[in-house]
């Protein structure tokens, strides 16, 4: 068995353990294999093993990999998206996890409208108010989503967050808990066109904690494909 495949087995096993620990059905949790910087052969292996959801953070990389795999993979845009690049991926991705400004939401809506499609998105929330991270602040999320909900070619499906890198993943538990709280709050407001079925949180370092706190999508790269080498 290749490393990638045994790694996937291990991650799926951990998802089961974390879900079971808190009485959740593991089937509620989708594994997004984060394939950024990784070659086509690695993705092929994961795909061959049944992983059909892949996360990328660069528009060019989605375009290149889309040429190879097309719709055999559900592509998830998980990185900061510049408005001028929306047009290149709007009809290629399953879900945009990183809506973090009204300007971006409007652009996605406009491009989706041109193509006659409706795009599912998540709103990225910056819980820890880290300067280094994009995302809407907690106290602004509800107003933001109310505005986005008026756009006809976008559907808000939930929230996404990137927790800080910490040595002990327990430190991120309050962040994940906060996101779940906001989700419940938004659900109770019954905003038109808005559902809160997806909570995208948890990465290699902290996905088990995120699942314990309600995550429905974990974005895992390193634990599946190994360390990324950014120097090419």
Residue nearest to ligand PLP (CB): 221
Which one of the spans 6-14, 106-114, 171-179, 197-205 is the region binding ligand PLP (CB under 6 A)? 197-205
Q: Dihedrals φ, ψ of 154, to 5°?
A: -125, 140
Name the residue among 228, 177, 211, 197 with its Cα closest to residue 31.
Answer: 211
Applying the rule CB under 6 A, the residues between 48 and 87 that interact with ligand PLP are 57, 78-79
What is the residue-wise DSSP string for 110-129? HHHHHHT--EEEEEEB-TT-
Binding of residue 203 to ligand PLP (CB under 6 A): yes
Distance CA 112, CA 16 (A): 36
Considering beta carbons, is residue 86 or 223 the nearer one to ligand PLP?
A: 223
CB of 143 vs ligand PLP, minimal distance in Å: 24
The one among 19, 31, 33, 34 contacting ligand PLP by CB under 6 A: 34
Phi/psi at 216 (5° precision): -115, -10
Regarding 222 and contact with ligand PLP (CB under 6 A), the answer is yes
- Give Cβ neighbours of residue 147 (< 8 Å, ≥ 6 apart): 102, 105
- Site residues (vs ligand PLP, CB under 6 A): 34, 36, 57, 78-79, 162, 203-205, 219-222
């Amino acid at each position: 068995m290749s490393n990638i495949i045994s790694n996937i087995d291990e991650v799926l096993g951990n998802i089961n353990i974390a879900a079971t620990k808190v009485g959740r059905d593991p089937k509620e949790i989708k594994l997004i294999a984060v394939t950024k910087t990784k070659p086509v052969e690695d993705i092929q292996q994961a795909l061959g093993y049944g992983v059909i959801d892949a996360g990328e953070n660069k528009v060019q990389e989605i375009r290149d990999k889309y040429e190879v795999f097309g719709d055999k993979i559900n592509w998830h845009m998980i990185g900061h998206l510049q408005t001028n690049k929306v047009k290149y991926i709007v009809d290629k991705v399953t879900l945009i996890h990183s809506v973090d400004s009204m300007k971006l939401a409007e652009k996605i809506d406009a491009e989706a409208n041109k193509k006659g499609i409706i795009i599912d998105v998540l709103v990225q929330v910056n819980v820890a108010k880290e300067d280094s991270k994009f995302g809407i602040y907690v106290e602004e999320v509800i107003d933001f989503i109310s505005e986005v909900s008026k756009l006809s070619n976008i559907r808000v499906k939930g929230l996404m967050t990137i927790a800080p890198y910490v040595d002990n993943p327990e430190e991120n538990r309050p962040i994940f808990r906060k996101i779940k709280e906001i989700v419940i709050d938004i659900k109770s407001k019954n905003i038109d066109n808005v559902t809160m079925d997806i909570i995208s949180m948890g990465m290699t370092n902290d996905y088990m904690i995120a699942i314990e706190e309600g995550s429905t999508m974990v974005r895992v790269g390193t634990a599946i494909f190994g360390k990324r080498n950014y120097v090419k």
